[in-house]
């Protein structure tokens, strides 16, 4: 009888706790999404230096502007910022959790790709010598994470609400 009472009490407590875990699980998924995009950008830079070729991180969404649809990391041999033909795909990432919004701001308008040349410097897809830097901001329910990509290529993940050195997006 005592065991049944204990199990019943635990079941009631678990029933009360599970709905309260949903926001925690969503927050963890959001932060993990930001970490994964940051890791892909870092991987792209390291791959570009190791291979001596231009490597891009490009959103999988048709207009190539929204990382929420997922992204692809690839060696861009033809300079068209699309994973086609002779390009070597290094990594693919699925879509981000629902309600995660992604906004990109770069020094050049157009698709929201991140490109690195063989020296590990940020560049455009068309020219490995033209610098392109900016930021990618992920947001969800009042929480944000920003990936800042410096002109020389260094990427940094920060919380713009807590870190004053995180700065504003390039186009602000």
What does the pLDDT look like over 16-71, one tens digit per residue?
666 667 787 888 889 999 999 999 999 999 999 999 999 999 999 888 888 999 99
Backbone angles phi, psi at 109, to 5 degrees: -70, 170
**Percent of the chain whose predicted confidence (pLDDT) is above 90:** 50
Residue 156, C-beta contacts closer than 8 angstroms, at least 6 positions apart: 147, 148, 150
Strand 88-93 with 71-75, pairing: antiparallel
User: What pLDDT does 36 receive?
Assistant: 95
Q: Which of 8-12, 110-114, 133-137 has the lowest mean pLDDT?
A: 8-12
Give the pLDDT band of residue 6 (cuts 50, 70, 90): confident
Chain segment 29-40, per-residue pLDDT in tens = 899 999 999 999
User: What pLDDT does 141 receive?
Assistant: 86
Chain segment 132-161, per-residue pLDDT in tens = 999 999 999 889 999 999 989 999 999 888
Domain boundaries, the chain: 2-166
Residue 31, C-beta contacts closer than 8 angstroms, at least 6 positions apart: 145
171 by DSSP, 3-state: which?
coil
Query: What is the C-alpha to C-alpha distance for residues 71 and 82, in angstroms, rounded to an integer?
Result: 11
**Topology of domain 2-166, CATH:** minor pseudopilin epsh fold (3.55.40)
Q: Within its chain, how far is the Cα of 114 from the centroid?
A: 10
Instruction: Record the pTM.
Output: 0.84
For residues 60 and 8, which has the higher predicted lDDT (pLDDT)?
60
120 by DSSP, 3-state: which?
coil
Closest CA to 67 of 34, 90, 23, 106: 34
User: What pLDDT does 52 receive?
Assistant: 95
Is the pLDDT confidence value at 172 over 80?
A: no
Mean per-residue pLDDT of the chain? 87
The answer to whether 50 touches 121, Cβ cutoff 8 Å, is: no
Could you tell me where the DSSP H helices lie in the chain?
2-51
Backbone angles phi, psi at 26, to 5 degrees: -65, -40
57 by DSSP, 3-state: which?
strand
Is the pLDDT confidence value at 171 over 80?
A: no
Tokens representing 140 are 């969800």
Where do we find the tokens 């410096």?
A: 150
């Amino acid at each position: 009888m005592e065991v049944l009472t204990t199990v019943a009490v635990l079941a009631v407590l678990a029933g009360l706790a599970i709905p309260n875990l949903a926001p925690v699980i969503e927050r963890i998924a959001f932060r993990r999404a930001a970490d994964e995009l940051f890791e892909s950008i870092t991987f792209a830079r390291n791959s570009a230096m190791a291979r001596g070729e231009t490597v891009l991180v490009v959103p999988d969404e048709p207009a190539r502007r929204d990382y929420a649809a997922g992204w692809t990391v690839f060696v861009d041999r033809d300079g068209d910022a699309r994973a086609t033909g002779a390009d070597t795909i290094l990594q693919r990432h699925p879509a981000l959790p629902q309600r995660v919004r992604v906004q990109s701001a770069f020094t050049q308008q157009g698709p929201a790709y991140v490109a690195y040349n063989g020296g590990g410097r940020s560049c455009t897809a068309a020219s490995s010598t033209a610098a392109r830097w900016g930021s990618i901001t992920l947001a969800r329910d009042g929480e944000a994470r920003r990936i800042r990509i410096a002109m020389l290529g260094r990427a940094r993940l920060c919380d713009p609400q807590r870190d004053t050195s995180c700065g504003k997006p390039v186009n602000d």
